[in-house]
Amino acid sequence: MPERANLTVAAFLTFIAAIAMLRTAAHGVGYPSETVPAYAISGFDHERPMDPAEVDSPEVGALATEWLYEAYPDRITERAIRDGEWSLRVGERWFAWSDGRLLPEAKRDRIEEYSPIRFYDYRLGEHEAPDFDEEFVEMMRMRYAGDGPGDEIWIERGRHQAFYEALYGVSSLQEADRAMRRTTFLGFSVRVHPMLIEPLRRVEADIHASSDGDASVSAFIRNIRQISGFYWRDIFGSASRSFHSYGTAVDLLPRNWLGGFGYWRWAQQSGIVEWWSLPLHRRFTVPQPVVDAFERHGFVWGGKWIGFDPIHFEYRPEVIRYAEYQESAEESGLRLY
């Protein structure tokens, strides 16, 4: 009798998994995509207390809010110091920097409850696999010792959603669904936030221009099976909402993975314990001119995350601005999240 009960439970779980896959396909996302990119950032551990002198400072808040203000001039209407904290106004609401949390002013003192927004250490140009020290490797082994979501060590604190909800004008699935617009990108129809339509048009023009003299770019375009954008969900392994939920990220899904791992979790599930050290030639990748085109117009590439997700591009012009700053001030010692 217990054996029959176990079979029944297994059948039920299989059925639930099948339903989940169908729902995923219905939203136009055929593969898991996007992880928590900050796990990849210079070994910074969001679970240990932050040293303000090391991680945050008034200078950091000033620069970060300036880059956000410059990146979204049609959405962020004012930048000022309020009660000693750099703050941004979106519509009629003010958000305080609060050690990178960008919280509504009424919650500016509750930073321990939320993760920072993603101003992570992104580098422009050709990607090089980083050389990890022992402290970082040990931290990663501990974090990923379990099976995934559900393990206490795994789930990251979520960021407060109010800033991004105000920035994109989206606070629910229903609002997001109404806000999205359909456009064509590299020959595929995709639903995205209206603010992405013009940047994607410029990215597409640059990609086509580079394909004339680069066979790898032409082959990459031919290998695209599907492009997905808007999809309401949380980031895998986090309580934070995915940028796909706001329609500000796109996934370029290939017909053929060309023998490479297309997602960090697939490498982990295949038995590669230290998947973060997987050589670049064993990962699915994107031609450099395609990456350059996206970066030129404000997108970051998930292939550069340690939790690598090479089909994923998200519109984060403020992060690109930070990357440009790092290139020009490499010796400054300033780091964001």
Compute the distance between CA of residue 213 and CA of residue 215 in angstroms, rounded to an integer: 7
Q: What residue type is 74 in one-letter code?
A: D
Give me the pLDDT at residue 31, please.
37
Determine contact, residues 62/81, Cβ cutoff 8 Å.
no
Compute the distance between CA of residue 203 and CA of residue 294 in angstroms, rounded to an integer: 6
Q: How confident is the model at residue 200 (pLDDT cuts 50, 70, 90)?
A: very high
pLDDT in tens, 293-308: 999 999 999 999 988 9
pLDDT in tens, 53-111: 344 567 788 989 999 999 999 999 999 999 999 999 999 999 999 888 999 999 988 88
Per the listing, tokens 């956000």 go with 68
Where do the DSSP E strands lie in 145-298? 181-185, 188-192, 224-228, 249-254
Determine contact, residues 199/268, Cβ cutoff 8 Å.
no
What average pLDDT does the structure give for the chain? 80
The dihedral formed by the CA atoms of 105, 110, 115 and 118, expressed in degrees to the nearest 10: 30
Give me the pLDDT at residue 158, please.
79
Between the two ends of the chain, the Cα-to-Cα distance in Å is: 54
Instruction: Tell me the β-bridge partners of 93.
Output: 90
Please compute the mean of the pLDDT values over residues 321-332 and round it to a whole number.
Answer: 77
In this predicted structure, the answer to whether residue 131 has a pLDDT above a threshold of 60 is yes
Which sequence spans correspond to the domains of the chain? 33-331
Give me the pLDDT at residue 96, please.
94
Give me the pLDDT at residue 235, please.
77
Q: What residue type is 199 in one-letter code?
A: P
pLDDT in tens, 6-37: 444 344 333 333 333 333 333 333 333 444 33
Q: What is the rounded radius of gyration, in angstroms, for the C-alpha atoms of the chain? A: 20
Q: Which of 173, 117, 182, 95 lies closest to 336, judged by CA?
A: 117
Give me the pLDDT at residue 40, please.
31
**Element at 93 (helix H, strand E):** strand 93-96
Q: How confident is the model at residue 330 (pLDDT cuts 50, 70, 90)?
A: low
Query: Where is average pLDDT lowest: 52-66, 122-136, 167-181, 234-248?
Result: 52-66
Please compute the mean of the pLDDT values over residues 166-175 and round it to a whole number.
Answer: 95
